[in-house]
Amino acid sequence: MADFEGRSRRDDLYTEAAAQYGSALERLARGYEGDPDRRRDLLQEIHIVLWRSFDRFDGRCSLRTWVYRVAHNAATSLVLRRRVRTPTLTGLDEVAEMKGEVDVEHSVNRQHALARLMELIRTLRPVDRQVMLLYLDGVDAGTIADVVGLSPSNVATRVHRVKQILVRQFYEREP
Amino acid sequence: MHDVDDDGIRRMWQEQPREERIMSTSEIRMKAALLDDRVRRNNAGAAVAFGVILIANLLQLVMRGQHSYERAGAALIVVAAASMLWLYWRARSTAVRLDESGLSCVAFYRAQLVRQQKLAGRFWLCVLAFLPGILLSLLGGISASPLTPSRLAGLAVGGLLWIAVVVWMIVRGMRRVQADLDELDASDMS
């Protein structure tokens, strides 16, 4: 009986999370995997891990924080598994030095800008990638700090760097 | 530069069209069970194949080895393989799925890096467990049918090169993990 209740609670929480954050999870998967088939597998894995995780959800953090934490951690596992094959990942500081080539305001092809953005995200180290993806998703700095586990001032610094990168990469043109 | 708003790029990110449909909980349950089965089958298959092939071959060597060193070496390798299998099985059965535990991303990443460091340490244990057996077997093989000096030198150089490559790969991997941990510690403080 208790097991049935546990399952039902897990299912209810998962259904609510999937309905509210399903599209956010899709975008998150895009930030970790470029290949469409592998991305589908990753997204499926994230959903399975999320569903299972609700056995341990005790409500000490919000549903949103929990969903983002579990999803990013599942995706980070993938980054670590593929570590041997992937080139060295970089931090926000290194990326900030790079000059962009795509002007999002004037770009005829938004898909090109989006592809460039995803490419950029996938070169970042896990923590920087998490901050950037959460910022792009419109998550506030307090929640980002809660999800990632950094101090609010640390997150504020990183968000500032992310903004600089986005502006430099997508709005500034080479003279 | 900072006066320029990045709302456009954020909007573009958030307005991406959805590609996947949401799975029902029964679908999720089915897929989770399939995934568990596949992982269990793969682990069991790998362990059985590793155990059967290694132990069968080495037992054969113990029975038919021509030199007592070879037999002793083969027996040590069997013991080392069995110990490694047992350690692997124990580690698997007590492993906790950290990604389901709702840890903050930094805590999770750190835990995974520390786990990788421990795994590399276990690899050294594995090398240490197998090394006496391998050396004894080689010594026995050489005593049973002495090699020409050039072949012996070739064997020694090949063996040393192999060891050097393995050590280099492990050290490189451990350094990479340590660098990530240092970077994480530094960024956590900033």
Two tokens, residue B177: 């993990």
Give the per-residue SS3 of A34-92: CCHHHHHHHHHHHHHHHHHHCCCCCCCCCHHHHHHHHHHHHHHHHHHHCCCCCCCCECH
- CA distances A131 to A25, A78, B148, Å, are 15, 17, 63
- Stronger pLDDT, B126 or A46, i.e. the higher one: A46
Comparing CB atoms, the residue among B20, B99, B188 nearest residue A26 is: B20
Report yes or no: B133 and B73 within 8 Å, Cβ to Cβ: yes
Task: Please tell me if residue B149 touches chain A, with a CB cutoff of 8 Å.
Answer: no
Residue whose C-alpha is closest to residue B183's, from A7, A23, A126, A151: A126
Two tokens, residue A35: 């290949």
Two tokens, residue B50: 């590793």
Residue whose C-alpha is closest to residue B24's, from A69, A62, A48, A28: A48
* ipTM score: 0.82
Task: Please tell me if residue B97 touches chain A, with a CB cutoff of 8 Å.
Answer: yes
pLDDT at residue B72 greater than cutoff 90: no
From chain A, pick out residues whose CB is under 8 angstroms from the CB of B11. none
Q: What is the pLDDT of residue B2?
A: 43
Dump pLDDT digits (tens) for A103-148.
555 545 677 888 888 888 988 889 999 999 999 999 999 999 999 9
Pick from B2, B6, B96 the residue to mutate for testing the A interface (most A CBs within 10 Å): B6
Dump pLDDT digits (tens) for A46-58.
999 999 999 999 8
Which residue reads 């080139």 in tokens? Answer: A87
Sign of CA dihedral A9, A15, A21, A24: positive
Dump pLDDT digits (tens) for A31-82.
999 888 999 999 999 999 999 999 999 888 999 999 999 999 999 988 887 7
Measure the CA–CA gap between A98 and B145, rounded to whole angstroms: 63
User: Nearest 5 degrees, angle CA A51-CA A73-CA A100?
Assistant: 125
Per-residue confidence band for A95, with pLDDT thresholds at 50, 70 and 90 = low
C-alpha distance from A2 to closest chain B C-alpha (Å): 18
Q: What is the pLDDT of residue A70?
A: 95
pLDDT > 70: percent of chain B: 87
Two tokens, residue B113: 């890096």
